[in-house]
Amino acid sequence: MAFSDEQVERYSRHLILRGLGVKGQKKLLASSVLIIGAGGLGSPVALYLAAAGVGHIGLVDGDVVDLSNLQRQIIHTTERIGQPKVDSAAKAMRSLNPDVTVTTHHMLVDAGNIAQLIEPYDLVVDATDNFAAKFLINDACVLADKPFIHAGVVGFAGQVMTIRPHEGPCYRCIFRDMPAAGEVPTCRQAGVLGAVVGVIGSLEATEAVKLIVGVGEPLIGRMLTVDALTMNIRRVPLPAHVPDCPVCGEQPTITAIDPANYIQPACTIDSANE
244 Rama sector, left if φ>0, alpha if ψ -120 to 50, beta otherwise: alpha
Does the CA dihedral 187-234-167-199 come out positive or negative? positive
β-pairing, 32-36 vs 123-126, is parallel
According to the model, what pLDDT value does residue 268 have? 39
Judge whether residue 172 has pLDDT over 50. Answer: yes
The active-site residue, picked from 137, 142, 187, 254, is: 187
Indicate the annotated binding residues for Zn(2+): 170, 173, 245, 248
Cβ neighbours for 74, distance < 8 A, ≥ 6 positions apart: 43, 44, 47, 194, 198
Tens of pLDDT, residue by residue over 207-234, are: 999 999 999 999 999 999 999 999 999 9
Q: What is the DSSP letter of 179?
A: P
According to the model, what pLDDT value does residue 185 have? 59
Percent of the chain with pLDDT over 70: 91
Closest of 33, 32, 44, 89 to residue 63, by C-alpha: 89
More reliable by pLDDT, 184 or 206: 206
Mean pLDDT, the chain, as a whole number? 92
Indicate the annotated binding residues for ATP: 13, 40, 61, 72, 85, 109
More reliable by pLDDT, 264 or 20: 20
In contact, 261 and 254? CB cutoff 8 Å: yes
Indicate the annotated binding residues: 13, 40, 61, 72, 85, 109, 170, 173, 245, 248
- Please say if 187 is a catalytic residue: yes
In contact, 10 and 18? CB cutoff 8 Å: no
Confidence of residue 22 (pLDDT cuts 50, 70, 90): very high
Question: Which residue ranges form the domains of the chain, and what is each CATH number?
Answer: 31-261 (3.40.50.720)
Percent of the chain with pLDDT over 90: 84
